[in-house]
Structure 1
Amino acid sequence: MISNLDQELLSSGIEGLDSILRGGFPPNNAYLVKGRPGTGKTSLAMQFLLEGARRGESALYVSFSESRRELEVVAESHGWDIDSIRTVELASSISERATAGSSIFHASDVDLPQSLNTITECVERYEPTRVAVDSLTELYNMAESERHFRRALFQLKIRLEKAGVTTIFVGEQGPAVKTDAESIVHGIIELERETPHYGPQRRRLQVSKLRGREIETGFHDYKILRGGLEVYPRIRPSGQGRRIGAGERAKSGIEALDRLLGGGFDRGSTSLIVGPSGAGKSSVVIQYAVAAAKRGEKTVIYTFDEDPATITRRAENMEVPLSEHLDAGLVRVQSVDAAEMSPGQFAHLVREAVDEGGAQFIAIDSINGYMHAMPSTESLVPHLHDLLTFLGNRGVVMMLVMTLGGLFRGTEKEAMHLSYLADTVLLLRYFEQRGAVRRAITAAKHGTGNHEKLIRELTLGEGGVHIGEPIEEFSGVLEQTPVFEGSSNALNRRTRHGYAVHDDD
C-alpha cells in the first residue's frame, strides 16, 4: 500500500501554492477553498482544473450558480481556454441526467439527494480525475438541516474518493463551510482580503489544514492578476542564522570609507545607513553598487521614494559611472510602489533577483517606504528578519537606507527598532561650521570587524563620496547639536576634502 507521503502530488496550477503545499495536493481527497466574495475562490478552482487538463487529465466543473457562458467570460478575462473542461450546470431547469458541455438543471427545484446523484452520474460517465464543486452554499441551502447537509456531503466525498477523484469544494464564509464541511475535508485553504484606508485591496491565504503532511504554515500574500492567482510564499530562512563573513569583504572603492568600516562590508551582512534627508545615504549606496559592478558583481537597488532617473542623474552629477553599469546589466534600479505591492510580493522580487538574477548586493532605499507597504508597523521587524536571514544565508550584502524624520533634529526611534537586525550601522549627520552646513559620517556598529570610532567629514562631489579628516573640534555632532570646542585656528584648517579656508581670519 502506498503511503500518503509516497503519493505523487497533484499540482494546483499555482507555483506559489504548490510551494506552500510542499509539492501539491495529495490525490484522491477532498479539499475546501473558502473565503468571502472576490477573494479568487473560483479562479483557484479553475486553475486547478486547467492544470489537470494541461497534463492530459479529465476535469469536471460542477456549478450551482454560474452558467457556462459566465465561466467563459471569467476565463476570457484571464486569457484561459476552458474548452478542455467539462461543465455541469445545476442552474436553469431540471433534467434526469447531465449531458456533455451544457446540461441544465434547476438547483432550486432539485432536492439534495437528486443533486448528489447527478454529480455522481457525471463522474461515472466522464471519469474525471479532478472535480470542482462551486459552491457548498447552494448544497447547504437545499438541506433540511445541518445534520442532513453533513451526512450528504460526507456521502458525496466518499463517492468521489472511491472514483479516484481529487475534489475542490468552493465555499463562502458562512454556516456551510464551518464545522460540518471543515471536519469532513482533507485540507482547507482560506482566502482573505482587506481594504486599507488608501490603496488597493490586499489579499492573503493560508493552508489551515492538510492531514498527514508538513506545509508552510501561516499567511502568504497573493494577487489576482490576468492569468489567475499569483501566490508569494512567505520566505522561510534555512539554517539557524546568517552566515556572516564568508569570503573577502565587499569594499566601496574608497580607502577611507573602507577603513572606517574596518575593511568593508562582510559578505552576508546587513548594513543600516541612517541619516536625515539629503545627508548622502543614497550616494553611499551608489558608491558600493559601482564598486561591486567593477568587480563583476550584480546589484539591485529597490527605490521606494525616488524615480530611478533621479538616482541616475545624481550619479551623473557626481561623475560616478553608474549609467554604464546599468547598461551592462550589472546594476538595476527598480522603483517600488508601496501602495501597490504587498510585502510578500516584494520579498518574492528580492528572492528572484538573488536566486535567478544572481544579485550579490541588495539595497532598499528607503526602509521608510518599505514600512508603508506593511499591513502594520509591528510586522516590519519579523518580515525583515526573515528576508535578511534568507539573504545572509546566500552571502548577499544587504543595505537598508533609513531617513530620519526631521532634516536636522530627526527622531531615531525607528532606527533603534531595526538596529539589532543590522551588523553594521552607518550614521550620517549634518553639522554647522561658520555658517555653512556640512556632513558627517561614522560607523556606530560593525559586527565582525574592528572599525574606526572616529567621526569624519563626508563630502559629495566629483568622483562620488569623499571621506575627510576626523571632526575633532566639535562635540554633539551625532546628536545634531554640534558645539565647537577647538581653537579659532582649527576653523581655518584645510584638508583635501575637509574644512573650507576663511581668509578673513
Structure 2
Amino acid sequence: MATPGASRRVPTGIEGLDAILRGGLPRGEVFLVQGTPGTGKTLLSIQFLRAGVENGESCLFISLSQSAEGLRRNVGGAGLSLEGIRVHDDLPVEAPGSVEQEQVIFHDEHVEFDETVRALTEAVERAEPDRVVFDGIGYLRLLVRSAAQYRRQLLALRRFFSSRDITVMLTDDQSVVPGEDVLQSLVYGALLLEQTRTNYGDTRRELHIVKLRGTDHASGTHEFRISTGGLKVFPRLRSHHVSSSEQNEALTSGIESLDNLLGGGLQEGTSCLILGPVGTGKTSLATLYADAAARRNHSSAVFLFDERPEIFVRRSEALGMPITQHVEEGRVSLHAVMSGEITPGEFAYSVSREVRERDVRVVIIDTLTGYLSAMPDQRHLITKIQDLLTYLSRQGVLTILVVAQHGVIGEQSQHQNQLRGPIDISYLADAILTTQHFEIDGALRRAVSVYKKRYGAHERRIRELFIEDGLIKVGAPMTEAVGTLLGHSLEAGTDASDDDT
C-alpha cells in the first residue's frame, strides 16, 4: 500500500476533472459519483482506478450491479482496460439466471444486509488496496427496510476505510432508490453526472461538484463527453483563474491602408467583430491577421464552422497568403467544427488548450453565426461567449469573430438592420469592422469601414475594398461618395431622386 501522508491528492486520471479538483481527490476519503443510467459513472470510476494502476497503486473494483464479465465487455467497448485492476463480484448470492437477475447480482430474499457488508470488508482486507470502487452502492439500500440501519452500516464502512488510508469511490444509480440523499450526507465529496437529449446532435452531458469538504475546487457546471477512452471533461472557463497580459501590442494586417483605417491595427487582448453580408470579404480580412502573425513567428488558431479547411486554404492562398506553409510550420492550426457535435464548454476548452499549449496570439472564429447554429439548444450562449472573450483578453490574445449579417443587399438599405446578425453581440466586441456591398454604375463593389473601436482613434471614412487579381487591397477614403452604407453610391451633391428610373 502507498505510504500514508505522501501526496494528499489522488489524480482521477481525467485531465479536465483533475483541473476542476485542483489536482485530484483528497487521499484517504470516501467520494460519491451519482447519476442516472448512461451518464458515465462506471467509466469514470474505471478511469480513476486506471490512474492508480499507472501510479503503481493497488486497485480494487467491487461490482454490486453487474458481473465481472459484463463489466469487461462494457468497459472494453469504451476503449478502457481492466488490466491491473482486481475485480470482485463474488458476493454471497445466487448465480444469476435471467436477464433481469444479471443486472443485480444479489436479491433481498437471499442475502442479509450485514452478511453482504461483511463480505465487502473482507474483500478489501484481502486485497489491501490503495483505491477502491464500489459500483452500484445504492443496491445495498434494497436489502434493508430501515434507512437508519443503512446509514449506520455506511458510517461503519466509512470508518473502516478511513483507518486504512484508502481512497474510495462509490457510484450510485439515482433511479434505484429515488429521492434519498443519505449517501451525499455521509461522504467527503460528491459528483453529479447529468445528461440531456437535444433536438439535434449529440446528447449533452454536464458534471457538478455537489460538495467537496475543506478543499478548493472549481464550482459550477462543467461539460463532458463520453468517447473512446472514457470521459473527457471540459472545465468551465473562469476569468479570475487566468493571468492578465502586461503589455498589449498593436497587431497589424500587413495592408497599410487597412491598418490606417483601424488607427494603427488591432490591439492584443481585445476582440474584433467583422460583420457583413455574404461575399463581402469578411473571412479574407480575418485571415490577414493569422497570416501576418505567422510571418512574425507568432501562432494563430482558426476555428471553421461554415466551410471545410481545404476550401479555406485554397481561397486564402489564391489571395497570396501561404496558409499551407504556415500550417506545416506549426504557426497556424485549422479546426473544422461539426454542427451538433460540440458544446460551448467543449469549444471553449479547445480554444483555451490552443492558447496554453501553442501560445496562440490570434484566434479566429469563422463564423460566430455558425457557432450559434451548431448549438441551437444551448442555454446562456451569450454569457459563454463573454466568458471566452474575457479569458482570451486576459491572455493577451486578439480574437476575431466573423459574423454573417442577415440578407445580402436588401436588408442593408435599412439603417436599423446595419449591425444585425443572428443575435446582437456588438456590445461585447472592442472593435467592429463592417463590410458591405454597394452598387455604382451598374457594378457590384465592396466597402469596409470601422463602426466602433473602444481604444484609440480610428478613421471614420469608408474605404473601398478590392479582392481581385490574387490580392486584397483597401482603397483611399471615399470622400466623394454618399449612400455607400445604403447599398449604392452617388457623387457628393447628387440627389438620388434625379436618377433615371
DSSP-derived class of the 2:250 partner: coil
Q: Aligned match of 1:187 in 172, 184, 189? A: 189
Would you say how many aligned residue pairs link Structure 1 and Structure 2? 477
The alignment yields a C-alpha RMSD, in angstroms, of 2.7
State the AA in 1 paired with 2:223.
D
**Which residue matches 1:51?**
51
**Which residue matches 1:338?**
339
Matched, 1:470 2:472: no
State the AA in 2 paired with 1:445.
K
DSSP-derived class of the 2:83 partner: coil
Matched, 1:285 2:291: no
Partners of 2:61 and 2:401 lie apart in 1 by 48
- Percent identical pairs in the alignment equals 36
Q: Deviations over 1:215-252 (max 9, x none)?
A: 101111111121111111111223799658x2431111
> In structure 2, do the counterparts of structure 1 residues 107 and 88 end up closer, same or farther at CA, with 3 Å as the change threshold?
farther
DSSP-derived class of the 2:428 partner: coil
Contact 2:9/2:25 (<8 A) preserved:
yes
**Which residue matches 1:459?**
466
Matched, 1:81 2:72: no
State the AA in 2 paired with 1:346.
F
Partners of 1:250 and 1:197 lie apart in 2 by 41
TM-score, scaled relative to structure 2: 0.88
Alignment of 1:430-469 (within 5 A): 430-469=437-476
State the AA in 1 paired with 2:185.
S
**Which residue matches 1:251?**
252
Q: Deviations over 1:186-220 (max 9, x none)?
A: 11111111111011111110111101112101111
Contact 1:12/1:48 (<8 A) preserved:
yes
State the AA in 1 paired with 2:83.
D
Partners of 2:117 and 2:200 lie apart in 1 by 45
Partners of 1:447 and 1:243 lie apart in 2 by 18
Matched, 1:72 2:78: no
> In structure 2, do the counterparts of structure 1 residues 105 and 418 end up closer, same or farther at CA, with 3 Å as the change threshold?
closer
> In structure 2, do the counterparts of structure 1 residues 15 and 239 end up closer, same or farther at CA, with 3 Å as the change threshold?
closer
Please say which of residues 314-323 and 19-28 is displaced more in the overlay.
314-323
Contact 1:92/1:105 (<8 A) preserved:
no
Contact 2:29/2:162 (<8 A) preserved:
yes
**Which residue matches 2:270?**
269
**Which residue matches 2:30?**
30
> In structure 2, do the counterparts of structure 1 residues 235 and 457 end up closer, same or farther at CA, with 3 Å as the change threshold?
same
**Which residue matches 1:214?**
216
Contact 2:132/2:168 (<8 A) preserved:
yes
DSSP-derived class of the 1:238 partner: helix
**Which residue matches 1:232?**
234
**Which residue matches 2:204?**
202
Q: Deviations over 1:458-481 (max 9, x none)?
A: 111135321113234544433x35
**Which residue matches 1:321?**
322
Partners of 1:320 and 1:44 lie apart in 2 by 45
Gaps of 5+ in 2: 96-103, 496-501
> In structure 2, do the counterparts of structure 1 residues 350 and 138 end up closer, same or farther at CA, with 3 Å as the change threshold?
same
Please say which of residues 196-205 and 155-164 is displaced more in the overlay.
155-164
State the AA in 1 paired with 2:218.
E
> In structure 2, do the counterparts of structure 1 residues 403 and 52 end up closer, same or farther at CA, with 3 Å as the change threshold?
same
Contact 1:34/1:173 (<8 A) preserved:
yes
Contact 2:277/2:408 (<8 A) preserved:
yes
Alignment of 1:74-223 (within 5 A): 74-89=74-89, 93=93, 106-108=106-108, 109-174=110-175, 175=177, 178-223=180-225
Matched, 1:402 2:408: no
TM-score, scaled relative to structure 1: 0.88
> In structure 2, do the counterparts of structure 1 residues 178 and 19 end up closer, same or farther at CA, with 3 Å as the change threshold?
farther
Contact 1:59/1:129 (<8 A) preserved:
yes
Partners of 1:320 and 1:23 lie apart in 2 by 42
> In structure 2, do the counterparts of structure 1 residues 229 and 407 end up closer, same or farther at CA, with 3 Å as the change threshold?
same
Contact 1:363/1:399 (<8 A) preserved:
yes
**Which residue matches 2:490?**
484
Q: Deviations over 1:67-124 (max 9, x none)?
A: 11111112322443323222221568359xxxxxxxx974442121111111111112
Partners of 1:115 and 1:335 lie apart in 2 by 52
Gaps of 5+ in 1: 96-103, 490-505
Contact 2:204/2:343 (<8 A) preserved:
yes
> In structure 2, do the counterparts of structure 1 residues 136 and 105 end up closer, same or farther at CA, with 3 Å as the change threshold?
closer
**Which residue matches 1:39?**
39
Contact 1:63/1:91 (<8 A) preserved:
no
> In structure 2, do the counterparts of structure 1 residues 185 and 57 end up closer, same or farther at CA, with 3 Å as the change threshold?
same
Partners of 1:213 and 1:253 lie apart in 2 by 50
DSSP-derived class of the 1:430 partner: strand
In the TM superposition, what is the alpha-carbon distance from 1:176 to its structure 2 partner?
A: 5.8
**Which residue matches 1:422?**
429
State the AA in 2 paired with 1:464.
L
> In structure 2, do the counterparts of structure 1 residues 57 and 378 end up closer, same or farther at CA, with 3 Å as the change threshold?
closer
> In structure 2, do the counterparts of structure 1 residues 55 and 317 end up closer, same or farther at CA, with 3 Å as the change threshold?
closer
> In structure 2, do the counterparts of structure 1 residues 317 and 84 end up closer, same or farther at CA, with 3 Å as the change threshold?
closer
DSSP-derived class of the 1:420 partner: helix
Contact 1:261/1:449 (<8 A) preserved:
no
DSSP-derived class of the 2:239 partner: coil
Partners of 2:6 and 2:214 lie apart in 1 by 11
**Which residue matches 2:387?**
386
> In structure 2, do the counterparts of structure 1 residues 326 and 126 end up closer, same or farther at CA, with 3 Å as the change threshold?
closer
Contact 1:62/1:87 (<8 A) preserved:
yes
State the AA in 1 paired with 2:445.
R
State the AA in 2 paired with 1:46.
I
State the AA in 2 paired with 1:137.
G
